[in-house]
Structure 1
Amino acid sequence: MNTFGTYNKDDVVFLLKDISNLICEENNNDREIKIQNGQHYSQMLPIEKSVSAQYLNLYKEQLENNKEKLAYAIGVMSEKIIKKNGKDIVLVSLARAGTPIGILAKRYLKERYNLKLHHYTISIIRDKGIDVNAIKYIIKKHPNTKIQFIDGWTGKGTICGELSKSCESMKSMLGKEIKPTLAVLADPAGYAEIYGAREDFLIPSACLNSIVSGLISRTVLRDDIIGDNDFHGAKFYKELVNEDQSIRYVETIENCFKNQYKNIDDEVGKYNKEELSKIGDRDILNLQRKYNIEDKNFIKPGVGETTRVLLRRIPDKIIIKDIDDENIAHILVLAKEKNIEIVQMDLKAYRCCGIIKNLKDI
């Protein structure tokens, strides 16, 4: 286990191998070509650099404008976690989008109920599954405690599916059933059982990469640097320490918790387990048909995923529901900076979607 990152040590334990000196970052174009020719995205890291002053100011404005809504959603999600599981739980965030959300849940439950919960961040990778060594570590430390997985938002429900597959495969391996229940802040697509809001609203931590995630990279799984007994890997961007927004982000939202207690209680009082609507499937299918996209992995839906496409992939176009929607102002800035086409469309579940350019068509 490594101690790295810029979060307070009481906030989270990263069950990740520090590979800062073992991997070189690659530019988005080179990575995209490799991904589309069959190399898995978890074997490479994108270059992470400073964002423009305009973009950073926009992030700060969005955080200020949305902080009460975020505090409310954190509270609703956290209350539902307790309602479902009781108080004997360990919080396990999925790196890296889940980490600040898990920290906020831990702080909310400490502030309101004086619960001192353990919180870990571990890796899960599409088509590769969850980090089994990290799960083994957690079970050894907390053998009789329920695990609650946490992420930032749902896109197409891919990680929900990956989590379910991983938990099923671990059952016989570990001799223990682990529930694949995922709690997220925003679930516009209707894939998560526990959520703060169904709305596709801007979670400001989606706007930035490592500088709002404890300066930690996305996770890496590569045979030459991750051994059989290692945790999945990640890089610590020490060179960006003067630009780090991670603690400020968490504290800004945390300071609004008390304002939202009544609203949170009113919402949770109406809560019953809901059927998963999977309404996002309709938007994905419509986009596949409209743009003749065979592989739905080229479609990245929702505010968070669209932001990621613009930051670290090669976008073809951005689909938006409403050009005047303030929740996607940062997306319009990024698209303009990168000269990416913007198309309006009547989306049902999402505010926007990012379409990745198929480089084989060039």
Structure 2
Amino acid sequence: MLNNLHSDKTPLLGSYCAEDCLFLLKNIEPKFYTIEDKERLIQTGAMHYSEMVNQESAPSQQYAELFLNLTEQYKNRLAVEVLQLAKKIVENRDGDICIISLVRAGTPIGVLLNRAINEYGEVNSLHYSISIVRDKGIDENALDYLIYGQKIKPESIVFVDGWTAKGVMTEELKKAVQHYNARRNLNLSEQLFVISDIGGTADFSATFDDYAIPSALMNSTVSGLISRSVLNDQIKADDFHGCISYSHLENCDRSNWFVNQVTDCFKLSDFQTPLQNESLSAKKRQSMTRNFLQEIMQKHHVSNKNRIKPGIAEATRVMLRRVPDLLIVKDKLNPSTIHLLKLAIEKNIDVVEMNEMPFGACALIKDVK
């Protein structure tokens, strides 16, 4: 019975081509919540964050231009980091590779890694993007579809995300994979590969630096026009996790443009340059993150650390998708945080400079209870 599991399911394409990314998600009927209502329902415990999405709108012209400028500024750096991480993936697997990126932050990075491996890795690579939800685990139906439906070898699977922050999703992934392995009597690797490991919790990363990975600036318009994954009452026991397709944003979609911009910077010499082993730095990053969270909780009287989002990428998500209370930046002149300052002005959010913090930025979510 297991061998035929989910063989009839059809992946979603999003706005990427099939060779770049297939989403193992179920398109569901949209029920949109305002950002304010969503925040209140999350904080009062009335609903889990994964049950709700808000309608996304097109970025302002000024913000879109900022994204284009930051892509121009950082695409060469990101290309080098993608190639070095791709080489590390190839070295840690024997034979062909199946990249599983975590929707959505991991999706464009998964596309780039898949291209890099297929071009330079001398092995074949496939890329699927699947859902993982804090407190609820990974989409086991999606894993079943790959392993039993598509006959993907478990030892070929590699989990990819864009970055780490506090390490919540790293911990969720490891716990979820252990649970899945126990249920299915498998030995999937729980290793996580990311570009920027600012929290020091990933197994492999290209950098510990907190900088503006350009794809972190946008929502669906740089992630195949797909929403964050949804896990509500429309999702039945044998379904993939859900999503909304934001087709109304097709005219401002930059998903393929972005990955093409980075791919055009790929060079074989960068793929051949090994990553440095910085395990001591990872431990140091973990310690710095813990200390920073404690300091912020005390200084700003925050009782729930889920309301603290350290790192430029996570701060950007708060400014775009949550109800921000305060933006903290290391340096107001840092080009990587210009977009955050613009969003703070748009939303009338106070900005504090904190030169000694170990991140480029941190956003606090407002207590709306």
Mapped partners of 1:287, 1:41: distance in 2:
23
Checking the alignment, whether the CA contact within 8 Å between 1:157 and 1:189 is kept in structure 2 is yes
What TM-score, normalized by structure 1, do the two folds share?
0.94
- Equivalent of 1:71 in 55, 79, 104: 79
Q: CA deviation at 1:145?
A: 3.4
SS at match of 2:230: coil
Name the residue aligned to 1:109. Answer: 117
Q: CA deviation at 1:274?
A: 5.8
Name the residue aligned to 1:81. Answer: 89
Per-residue displacement from partner, 1:29-69 (whole Å, max 9, x unpaired)? 11111111111010000120011100000000000010100
SS at match of 1:85: coil
Q: How does 1:216-295 map to 2 (within 5 A)?
A: 216-222=226-232, 224-258=233-267, 261-263=268-270, 265-268=272-275, 270-271=276-277, 276-277=282-283, 278=286, 279-295=288-304
- Equivalent of 2:133 in 122, 125, 128: 125
What TM-score, normalized by structure 2, do the two folds share?
0.92
Mapped partners of 1:263, 1:118: distance in 2:
21
- Equivalent of 1:59 in 56, 59, 67: 67
Q: 1:124 to 1:189 in 2, by over 3 A?
A: same
Checking the alignment, whether the CA contact within 8 Å between 2:120 and 2:271 is kept in structure 1 is no
Checking the alignment, whether the CA contact within 8 Å between 1:282 and 1:348 is kept in structure 2 is no
- Equivalent of 1:154 in 161, 164, 174: 164
Q: CA deviation at 1:144?
A: 4.7
Q: CA deviation at 1:80?
A: 1.3
Unpaired stretches in structure 2, ≥5 consecutive residues: 1-9
Checking the alignment, whether the CA contact within 8 Å between 2:312 and 2:360 is kept in structure 1 is yes
Pairwise CA RMSD of aligned residues?
1.5
Mapped partners of 2:122, 2:281: distance in 1:
32
Unpaired stretches in structure 1, ≥5 consecutive residues: none
Name the residue aligned to 1:213. Answer: 223
Per-residue displacement from partner, 1:260-290 (whole Å, max 9, x unpaired)? x43553443x447667411322221211111
Name the residue aligned to 2:44. Answer: 37
- Equivalent of 2:305 in 280, 283, 296: 296
Checking the alignment, whether the CA contact within 8 Å between 2:83 and 2:270 is kept in structure 1 is no
Per-residue displacement from partner, 1:208-244 (whole Å, max 9, x unpaired)? 100000000000001x200000000011111111110
SS at match of 2:92: helix
Checking the alignment, whether the CA contact within 8 Å between 2:155 and 2:188 is kept in structure 1 is no
Mapped partners of 1:232, 1:87: distance in 2:
29
Name the residue aligned to 1:5. Answer: 14
What residue identity is the alignment partner of 1:150? V
Percent identity over paired residues: 39
Mapped partners of 2:269, 2:354: distance in 1:
37
Checking the alignment, whether the CA contact within 8 Å between 1:2 and 1:18 is kept in structure 2 is no
SS at match of 1:145: helix
Higher mean C-alpha deviation, range 281-290 or range 96-105: 281-290
Mapped partners of 1:329, 1:87: distance in 2:
42
Name the residue aligned to 2:4. Answer: none
What residue identity is the alignment partner of 2:202? A
Checking the alignment, whether the CA contact within 8 Å between 1:189 and 1:350 is kept in structure 2 is no
Checking the alignment, whether the CA contact within 8 Å between 2:97 and 2:123 is kept in structure 1 is no
Mapped partners of 2:192, 2:119: distance in 1:
22
Mapped partners of 2:355, 2:242: distance in 1:
40
Mapped partners of 1:144, 1:309: distance in 2:
35
SS at match of 1:121: strand
Moved over 6 A (4+): none
